[in-house]
Amino acid sequence: MASSSAHGILLESGTNELEILVFSIGQQRYGVNVAKVREVIEPVTVTRLPEAPPSVAGVFQLRDQVIPLVDLAVNLGVERSADAKDGVIIVMEFNSNRVGFRVDAVRYIHRVNVKDVEATPDLPGLRDAPVTFVVQIEDALILMIDFEQIGFDIAGIELVADGSCDVEAIVDRKNCKLLFAEDSRTTRKIILTSMANAGYTNQIPCCNGAEAVERLEQDLAENGSTTIDAVVTDIEMPQMDGLCLTRFIKENPRLRDIPVVILSSLVSPDNEKKCKAVGADLLITKPRIDHVVAAVDKLIAERQSAAAPVPA
């Protein structure tokens, strides 16, 4: 059972802990990373939009911003509670894009250890569900919703999957080994395809940070030193998050020279400080997967240059 806390506290970098805002729709409870939440507000006047997707209730004004409002019950295809009335609105932000989500009620905030978080079961009926992972808190099973993907879909933002990159290769990509840690099956497939199309065909895909650590340690045991040229990781993952993974790499004398690129939808000053604190080499916004190729090229080239012998 996950340990919990009733108060939201700014977490230190690389502690492998996650604060979850728990809310409900009908009888089911759901969760979202507190870091994605800007505020929770009471119902507001909503202006409907012509020809909007069914789950988009319209737009509303919050201070100086016009924000789209998503009816999460409609989006998920679940029934709202009969006594919820207009519910409440959770305002979230992904890469400077704010989106409001209407839910029945906000319940509480819990702090959990990511080790207590489980990946969504790999079953045919769940593979396309917008659920990143699940966690047991007291007597409730909390479903962590993939709000980024919902927001990107509604906003028409697509993850670039063709691997196109106008930057000329400055390293021998086919002979470079990359390790990826990403819990979302869809995003992981897009990253792997993009990088392979760009020439990075030697890839080690991992579902979370814990699996990535196992592969890194296996690589050391088999080869005596690391053969991995770069690591690309998400932040929010079950078992071990990307910040904890990065700290593990940078604190290990045999691994610390590996460049680490963190790929996340949470690019904020606070998040940048956390990534820097654990030693990450670069933080890139998750929709801009087309930028990863050039970034990995540059970091590998710099590492190779630093390791090259100095001419006599």
The DSSP H or E segment spanning 232 is strand 230-233
pLDDT score at 156: 63
The DSSP H or E segment spanning 187 is helix 185-197
Name the pTM for this structure.
0.81
> Is 116 inside a domain boundary?
yes
Query: In this structure, are 107 and 234 located in the same domain?
Result: no
The 10s digit of each residue's pLDDT in 101-146 is: 999 999 999 999 888 888 776 655 555 678 888 898 888 889 999 8
> Is 1 inside a domain boundary?
no
> What contacts 207, CB < 8 A, 6 or more positions away?
119, 181, 182, 183, 188, 237, 238
Which backbone phi and psi does 159 adopt, to 5 degrees?
-75, 130
CATH at residue 246: 3.40.50.2300
Query: In this structure, are 185 and 90 located in the same domain?
Result: no
Q: What whole-number distance in Å separates Cα of residue 293 and Cα of residue 254?
A: 25
> Is 62 inside a domain boundary?
yes
pLDDT score at 279: 96
Query: In this structure, are 297 and 190 located in the same domain?
Result: yes
Domain residues for the domain of 296 are 173-307
pLDDT score at 151: 72
The 10s digit of each residue's pLDDT in 173-216 is: 999 999 999 988 778 888 888 889 889 999 999 999 999 999 99
> Is 294 inside a domain boundary?
yes
CATH at residue 114: 2.40.50.180
pLDDT score at 9: 35
Q: What is the total count of domains within the chain?
A: 2
Q: CA 290 → CA 140, 185, 211, distances in Å?
A: 39, 18, 25
Query: In this structure, are 71 and 123 located in the same domain?
Result: yes
pLDDT score at 8: 36
Measure CA of the first residue to CA of the last residue in the chain; give whole Å: 61
Query: In this structure, are 28 and 104 located in the same domain?
Result: yes
pLDDT score at 5: 35
> Is 232 inside a domain boundary?
yes
Q: Which of 91, 126, 155 is the last residue of a domain?
A: 155
Which parts of the chain sit beneath pLDDT 50? 1-11, 162-163
